[in-house]
Structure 1
Amino acid sequence: MDKYDGGEAARLRPDDPWYDALASGWGELGGAGSRASAVPHARREPADRTATAAEIYLEVQRSPAFQEVRSRYRRFVFPGVAVFFTWYVAYVVAATTAPDLMARPVAGAVNVAMLAGLGQFLSTFLLTWAYARHARLRRDRAALELRWNTQELTRETER
């Protein structure tokens, strides 16, 4: 098994039951070569062995790897919410201001309003699928590595 951020062999982490649970890839990444957009490894040793957990979390929050994970999240979520909200509002506005358009038959008893309403359900499922896929392919591995590093740093300060 290769590490997410490079070709060196990863340490086996049997004490963390979530290590591979979220970032299994499910075969969508192809080979190791398609992981080129990996977020770099963000492990840093604390400058002071007596650092508190709050200081460690703030250090991780300021790290470039965390900022990249957060940026990837925002680059997907903000446009997705804007498009979906616009589509939802357009449906409601069309249903209230253009009842003749919405009542226009398409096939038999099926009209434009029914198709648009079903489109709302379909777009909800598609957006959910796209979000889960994006998270799995673009953020889960990096976030999992950040979480692991944060736990290691926290354990080190407890010793």
Structure 2
Amino acid sequence: MVDYMEGANRRRVPEPGEELRAPQGRSAAERRRAQADIAHACERVSVDPGFVKLRRRFAIQAGLLVAAFLGSYLSYLLLSAYARDFMSVQIVDSVNVALVMGIGQFLLTFVLAWAFGRFSARSIDPLAEQVRNRAAEGSRGTGTAVHR
């Protein structure tokens, strides 16, 4: 067999002339039972108050950062289209407001990415670790494996 993918979702593709066989020791009923256990664990985690709080924090954080970026970008576009006199004001020699605002778009992108990472590490990652640990503790009782 040839492995075309690495990682958790690896698929084994049979080489020409080789048959693809079901793994030894696991019947179809066992596979269905394992899938049902995983679905039950996912359902349990989805109603966990910590997970709901985690999703809400992430959505608010991502929404605020996207809104900040889009607001900045749209204001730059609108000013470029409708306030040409303002955008052509010279700051130093051949540097005008439009050039400074355009470079500011790149800087803002990096600042927002940095802020996203910092806020996530401080407030979202610890909460995600708690949810992951609770899910792992809950799955130990049922025999379901929780993957990272």
TM-score bracket for this pair, using the shorter chain length? 0.5 to 0.7
Matched, 1:82 2:67: yes
> What does 1:10-159 correspond to in 2, within 5 Å?
52-158=37-143
Q: Percent identity?
A: 33
Q: TM-score scaled by structure 1?
A: 0.62
Deviations 1:103-132 (A, max 9, x none): 110111110001101110111111111110
Q: In the alignment, which residue of structure 1 is the partner of 2:27?
A: none
Unaligned runs of 5+ in 2: 1-35
Unaligned runs of 5+ in 1: 1-50
How many residues end up aligned between the 2 structures?
109
User: Which protein has the larger Cα radius of gyration, Structure 1 or Structure 2?
Assistant: 2
